[in-house]
Amino acid sequence: MGVGRMSNVAIVLDHMRVVRGGHEIVPDLSLVVPKGSVFGLVGPSGSGKTTVIRAILGLTRVAGGQATVLGHPAGSAVLRPDIGYMPQGEGIYTDLSARANLEFFAAINRVPKGRVDVLLDLLDIASIADRRADTYSGGQRQRVGLAIALLREPPLLVLDEPTVGLDPRLRNHLWSLFRQWAEGGTTLLISTHVMDEATKCDEIAFLSDGRLVALGSPEALQQQTGTDDLEDAVLALSERSEVGHVH
């Protein structure tokens, strides 16, 4: 395909098929994530968002088609320094403090320890950094999880439901950070099941049962369906049961 090596493209999925435990979770998915954009993987739970993310990271095998990330096949060892990943449900050691969590991941990523304090400040968790993470609120744990993904200042950030269960104020704060990083050239792939968040993405791919229901910018999807609400737009598109390609 060759498009994966284009400098303005971060992720290319070309008829990607993913099978887990004998079930075809993603039958045939094609999409392009441009560099420096906030790309939303949207869909109800069980729609295959996490599976798509795991395939992109190389944590789940791609059974058919191709997944190209920053010009390399998904899962290539050369990609590891370039991807920051936050799994669903934080992915932190709750029996360690935020600082100990960050110091550990800094050590295995060979990031200078000074970066830990920078991130604790950036995400406003410095005051609780020396307490065990199981004493934190959900939002605080979430921010520790995000800080770990940011250790390397990676060009590609993959965040699996990073704002689930957060209060609106904190959610807005995080989204303004995401926007800021994208403007700085970082590509963000974010999964969410909240429509309100989907409208904040540059582009979204709406998944249902592992299939693409809609693809495009939130505004374009609304225009195409003549609705002023993204949720209605997606509903309209899924009822037409066709893939909407609008750019």
Partner 1 sequence: MSIDRTFAVGLRVLRQLRNDPRSIAMILIVPLFLLWILKETFQAYPGVFERLGPMLLGLFPYVVMFLVTSIVMLRERTQGTLDRMMVSPIGRGDIMFGYAFAFLVVAAIQSCFTLAVAVGVFDIPSKGALWQALLLVFAMGISGMALGLTSSAFARTEFQAVQFMPLLILPQIFLAGLMVPVDLLPRSFAWLSRIVPLSYSFRAIGDVMIDGQGWLSADVRWDTLVTLLVPCALLGLGTLTIHRSGTN
Residue choice 6, 59, 164, 177 for contact with partner 1 (CB under 8 A): 59
Interface residue with partner 1, options 7, 108, 228, 241 (CB under 8 A): 108
The minimum distance between CB 96 and partner 1, in angstroms, equals 6
218 binds partner 1 (CB under 8 A): no
* Shorter beta-carbon distance to partner 1: residue 105 or 175: 105
- Please check whether residue 11 is in contact with residue 21, taking contact to mean a CB–CB distance below 8 angstroms: no
Q: Interacting stretch for partner 1, rule CB under 8 A, among 103-111, 170-178, 225-233, 234-242?
A: 103-111
Our finding on whether 105 is near partner 1 (CB under 8 A) is: yes
Which distant-in-sequence residues (6+ apart) come within 8 Å of 50 by Cβ?
A: 88, 160, 191
User: Judged by CB under 8 A, does residue 100 bind partner 1?
Assistant: yes
Q: State the Cα angle at 183 between 168 and 171, rounded to 5°.
A: 10
Q: Does 27 bind partner 1 (CB under 8 A)?
A: no
Residue 72 interacts with partner 1 (CB under 8 A): yes or no: no
Per CB under 8 A, 80 contacts partner 1: yes
Distance of CA 63 to the CA centre of its chain: 21
Window of 38-46, 53-61, 179-187, 224-232 that interacts with partner 1 by CB under 8 A: 53-61
> Which H or E element spans position 197?
helix 195-198
Beta strands in 132-222 (DSSP E): 156-160, 187-192, 203-208, 211-216
Do residues 138 and 165 lie in contact, with contact meaning Cβ atoms separated by under 8 Å?
A: yes
For residue 19, what are the CA distances in angstroms to 42, 54, 217? 20, 12, 28
Tokens representing residue 150 in the block = 């940011």
Give the integer Cα–Cα distance in Å for 145 and 88.
Answer: 9
Count the site residues for partner 1 by CB under 8 A. 31
* Positive or negative torsion for Cα 225, 227, 230, 233: negative
* Position among 27, 91, 138, 155 found at the interface with partner 1 (CB under 8 A): 91
Stretch that binds partner 1, among 3-11, 38-46, 80-88, 171-179 (CB under 8 A): 80-88
**Which 119-158 positions form the footprint of partner 1 (CB under 8 A)?**
132, 148
- Residues interacting with partner 1, by CB under 8 A? 20-21, 54, 57-60, 77, 80-81, 83, 85, 87-96, 100, 104-105, 107-110, 132, 148
